[in-house]
Chain A
Amino acid sequence: MPKVKVPRKSTTVDMTAMCDVAFLLLNFFIMTSNFVAKEPIVVAIPSSVAEIKIPERDIVTVLIDKDGKVFFGLDTQQDRKEVLDNVGKAYSINFTDKELIEFSKINMSGVPIEKMKAFLASKPEVRDSKEAAIGIPADSLNNQFKVWMKTAKQVNSKLRIAIKADQETPYKVVKSVMGTLQDIKENRYNLITSLKEVSTK
């Protein structure tokens, strides 16, 4: 009997296939990703059984934290620029191009308009700090929030309004925000909630 020859195999594994898989997945994640938007404050949203998904574009987010601070966020940079420009005009503040570009990079703003210039001139670290998150005045004496919303609607009429408020927000604040929206004849809006399972029986 001839001797069985055991071939010497190399231990090299062909990594090409694995590499393909890795990059395929990577592609998928890059394509489908929309980044977690940075918000100036953390809110714990209430849960509900509503199953309607929020539209991806053309939404204006109203963020309300538990101290009743109101923030305002648009999703496209172009809209942000135009809105700031127009809001500035309403308060006779002129923003330079540089400031407008700077503003268009900010996801959510919560600064009174008179402090906006200083805010835009400050460093990103300062901007993200808690002290900078003042909130837009939304009371009846100085309702800048109303101006913001009105301008946003003028700039882009397709905008849908989404209210994202903290669970602990006093109803008073929510009422005044809803009242403001009613004032500018915005009668349909969405409340952002997280999903909760509920049995009906």
Chain B
Amino acid sequence: MSNLALLFDTPALALQLVVDGVLVGAIFALVAYGMALVWGVTNVINVAQGELVMLGGYVVYYLDRYGVSPVFGLPFAAVALYIVGWILYRLAVFRVVNGDLFTSLLATFGLSILLQQLMNQIFGADIRSVQADLGSFFLAGGLVTVAKVKLLAFAMALAVGAGLVLFLKRSRLGQAIRATSQNARAARILGVDTHRVYAATFALNAAICGAAGGLVAMTWIIHPYLGLTYTVRSFMIIVVAGLGNIGTVLASGCGLGVAENAAGFILGTEYETAFVFALLVAILVGRNLVLARQRRYLK
């Protein structure tokens, strides 16, 4: 536990872990919110979520190679992925909407493998990253560094999130999406073309992932096999935060980021993922206890 002592000796390090965790947590939250959206509206758990992130990363990477700054590359990635999402929906996902959960898991799992191998064929397995070359801020005499690229990613994640909320609240399509998620049958009766709504939702989710993927390429690295980590993280964030509320999704995303960093520091990187999953189990058990008590009162 000498690492824990270290943390108490130099509190600045704890600040570093929290800052890093919160900044990257916003990116996780973005991906998770997209997943929650699709899950809530179409009842499909999209296992190919991480692969959409990866695709977005490649779009930004290639634009960057042709001289488009990654900051401007992000909207391109979003648009490109919107189209990809629409195509994927029309080709495969529409068959499993509102069907058995197992079928949709299987179908999107298949999509994820397909996309992985396809990208591996096209781009190769090399590790790539976009150099934004933005530098860092230094606090506490250099003990705490805040990479500007992470700050930018955080700001963009917030901006995309806010835009999304506005879109869902204000626009016609957004309202249709919400109506369909509340009661698809009633929405159909009232003249909402639910299949178009499903397609738009899936495409919208892909666009969100595309933007997030661009952020991933800027802050870390991308390669054809990075998808699963993001899918699993999104799933976890949603399990904790529930579907629907972007505020709680953001909070649990940032919480996950901080928890990962803290566990990596104190226990060592090898326990990072294990710790987070243990935390998930603890949260689920705790929740179940609370819910059980509530059920008792209801009787």
- Do chains A and B interact in one complex? no
